[in-house]
Structure formats: structure tokens, C-alpha cells
Amino acid sequence: MRPLLHRALPVAAAALLLTGCAVDTVRGQASPGAGEPTEVTAEQFPITGVSEEPIDQLARAALADVERFWSEAYPEYFGEAYVPLAGGYFSVDPGDLDESRYPETGIGCAGSYTAPEDVAGNAFYDPACDVIAYDRTMLQELSDDYGRFLVPVVMAHEFGHAMQGRFGFAASGRSIQDETQADCLAGAWTRWVADGRAEHLSLREPELDDVVRGFLLLRDDVGSDPDDVEAHGSYFDRVSAFYDGFDTGVATCRDAFGEDRLFTAAEFTPYDLDEGNAEFDDIVDWVGTTLPAFWDEVFPAAFGTEFRPPAVAGFRFDAPDCAGLGDRDLGYCPDDDTVYLDESELAVPAYDEIGDFALATAMALPYALAARDQAGLSIDDRAAIDSAACLTGWYAQQWYSDAFGDLIDAQISPGDLDEAVQFLLQYGVDDQVFANVDASGFELVGAFRTGFLGGGAGCGLGG
């Protein structure tokens, strides 16, 4: 049995490394299209090898809308006429393959043959033949596991590669640059759909949470080489790129993916113990040391007074009797100036299921509310929750930049930021964490990202 989080602001002299470990907040203003979405027929948008299954109809609708988007966006942002894909589109069911439905050149073109069965488990753009191909059984699995709109996002990502085939792939040759830029372009298209401009698709706000969750499946393995020839990026890298496009559009995707772009994907080092997960008690100690240090620096600059660290305490199952805390698993109690976490229902499960930095995130969120309360700001409305998520991202950035190296012998490691995103998506939307606040996981992750990339400027410290 692990001990309770009974330490109130401990000072640690840890010998292990922490492992596993100004823009507006993104708002998911998703809505149906201007009218009822209309079906696109096979004659209107032919796909070689296509079936009559709903998943193929969804892929066709997505590709038709993506093509319309780029027919408008490409001239606007790249100054040239949009050129449709020369090689077209291919759908494959590797488990029920009828090769007679495909030309002699297979999935490709003369001089660049791809066998239909080689599409299994994949969706891709082939620049040699200017084609997009996909395994429809894989798309069905994505739809079943992560919601139907992840399929259109995958199609938009591959179409982004097709556009790179026109305006140019990364000059550095880095796959991670090309892949995350395609994520950004998919995000820009998704916003276009959310704004009701698509003809064949609509998007409901909850589906954005599913899309962001789906990127967890699509990320590289934690600790893999970001310079690998097939690197796609960490969960945070890919999600952040998608937000870039969704929030600020194609121009950002065009201009913000040079060689100086920040990527958090990194290989494990010999110091990253247990595939990046530190001990539970070590995280409690390190966070208990670094949170007050962070706020000791931030608070006087923002409000002109010294910061008084709150206590941090754990409980099991039954929350303390405190106005405003109720029966929640996590929160700040202004009556006794204490941050509370339910170890049994939240702290230990989050640590076990997600990782060590999920626990750090859980502690940092109500701590930010304590700082807001001390500053005379709200702690129980939507502005407070957005601010807390943003400030937690800022705190995570300090970990990332090793700002606490003189306090503890611990560093953030591959996968930690991914765990923060996972915590917000899984626990942040639970009423046991943020009660009666209508914030989606998409919005919470967006706020966290704002703080990580831009610091406190977008975190609402002024109100």
C-alpha cells in the first residue's frame, strides 16, 4: 500500500531522474454544416476498389470535402492553382482482396508498383504516383475505437502530404517535420468543417475529444528516435500541430514548420529508469518542491505580493468536509488553504494507468486554483479552469526546460507531456475533478498547450 499524500510541501533531495515523465485558449466551436450534409456518389468521386460499406462512404465524403477545401485554400496560401491528384484514390480490404478490381500497376502507377495487400494496416500518400490509398478495415477500427471523425482527419492528413508534394516537403528531410505539418493542415481543414463550411460532413464538439484521443494511437512509441526516417512525433507534438491548424489556419501550417520548430519527442537515455516512470513517492516529493518554487517566482511578478504556499494533502474515498470541495476527487479548499487529492480514486489510478507526470498534472491543477484564490481571482468557474490548465502547461514547460535543476535531481523525460494530455482528456472532463464546468477535453488540452508554448500571457492571470 502506498502512503497517503500527507506531505505538505516537502523538500526533496532525490537521487533519481524524473522519467516517463501568447495565444488564446483554443475553443472547440464545432457545429454542423450550414445545411444537412449530402452524400457524394461514386460517380462524383471515384475511388478504385471501393466498397458500398459505410466506412468507404465516410472516407469518400471526407476526401471530397478535403479536395474542395484545398481547391480554395491552395491558391490563397500558396499562390498557385490547385492541381487534383493525378493518380486518384484506392480503397483496400486486405482480408477480402479481389485483385481484379485494381489495375496492373496495383496501388500506384507505372514504375512505382505497390501490391494491394501491402496497404494492410495503413493509409498513405505516394508522391511518386500522386495517389492516396487506405486500408478500409483499419479505418473501421479507428472509427470503432475513437469515433467516426478520426477517419476524416486521417484522410485530411494524407491529403496534407499530397499538398506537400506540390509546395515542397521539409528541406531538412526530417519525417517528423512533414508528418506534424500534415497534422496541422488536417487541423486547419477540421476547423473549416467545424465552422459549417463542408458539404458532405459535419462535426459535433464532443468528437474533437475523440480525435485528440485518437492521436495517442497514431504517435510514435515513447522514447523512439525523432530523427528516424519514419518519425511522426510524440503525442504532444502531433496534438500540438493539429491545434496550430485548428486555431490559426493554413498560414501557420505553411510558416511554422521550419527546422527551428520545437519537438518534444526524444529517445530514452540510460537515466530514464523503468521506461520513464519514477516512483510514486518521488513524484510527490518533487512536485511538492517545484510547485511552490514555480509560484514563488511567478506570483510576485504577476500580483506584486509574496506567494503563500497552500498545504497539499491526500485522502481515501471520502473527501474532507469543505465548502466547495464536495465529494470530488481533486480540488482546492479555500477554508483551510489546502489542495486535496483522492489517492484511491484518482492519484494512484492516474499514476498506474497513465504514468508519473499524470500525477504531477493532477497536483498542479488545484495548486493553480489556490494561487488564483490568493490573488483574489475566481476558482470555480470556466475562466478559472481554463486558467488552471494553462498554468499547469506553463509549469510543465519549466520542467521541460530544466528550470528546477538547482532544487531537485530530476528531469522531465520522453512521454511526460503525453501523460499530461492523457490526464486532461481522461480525468479533466470528469465532474469528480472539475464539477459543473462545461469544459471539453479538447479545450483543456488546448489551454495546457497554450501555457506550455506561450507561458503565462494566455493564462488569465489578470482576471
Average pLDDT score over the chain: 88
Q: What pLDDT, on a 0 to 100 scale, did the predictor assign at position 64?
A: 98
CA distance linking residue 456 with residue 463, whole number of Å: 12
Closest among 369, 412, 406 to 388, alpha carbons compared: 369
In angstroms, how far is the first alpha carbon of the chain from the final one?
Answer: 42
Average of pLDDT values for 206-226? 86
CA distance linking residue 101 with residue 295, whole number of Å: 64
**So where are the chain's domains?**
54-255, 273-458
Q: Which tens digits make up the pLDDT trace of 357-403?
A: 999 999 999 999 999 999 999 998 999 999 999 999 999 999 999 99
Average of pLDDT values for 185-194? 98
Helix 416-426 crosses helix 356-374 at what angle (to 10 degrees)? 70
For the ranges 243-247, 265-269, 362-366, 455-459, the lowest mean pLDDT is seen at: 265-269
CA distance linking residue 184 with residue 425, whole number of Å: 20
pTM assigned to the model: 0.89
Percent of the chain with pLDDT over 70: 90
Residue 16 has pLDDT above 50, yes or no: no
Q: What confidence category does residue 270 fall into, taking pLDDT thresholds of 50, 70 and 90?
A: low
Q: What pLDDT, on a 0 to 100 scale, did the predictor assign at position 6?
A: 33
Q: What confidence category does residue 427 fall into, taking pLDDT thresholds of 50, 70 and 90?
A: very high
Q: Is 295 helix (H, G, I), strand (E, B) or coil?
A: helix
Q: Is 277 helix (H, G, I), strand (E, B) or coil?
A: strand
Residue 334 has pLDDT above 50, yes or no: yes
Instruction: Calculate the CA 20 to chain-centre distance.
Output: 17
Q: What pLDDT, on a 0 to 100 scale, did the predictor assign at position 225?
A: 85
Q: What pLDDT, on a 0 to 100 scale, did the predictor assign at position 317?
A: 87
Q: Which residues contact 97 (CB under 8 A, 6 or more apart)?
A: 116, 117
Q: Which tens digits make up the pLDDT trace of 111-143?
A: 899 999 999 999 999 999 999 999 999 999 999
Give yes or no for a contact between 118 and 94, defined as CB atoms under 8 angstroms apart: no
Q: What pLDDT, on a 0 to 100 scale, did the predictor assign at position 28?
A: 35
Q: What pLDDT, on a 0 to 100 scale, did the predictor assign at position 12?
A: 30
Average of pLDDT values for 241-268? 94
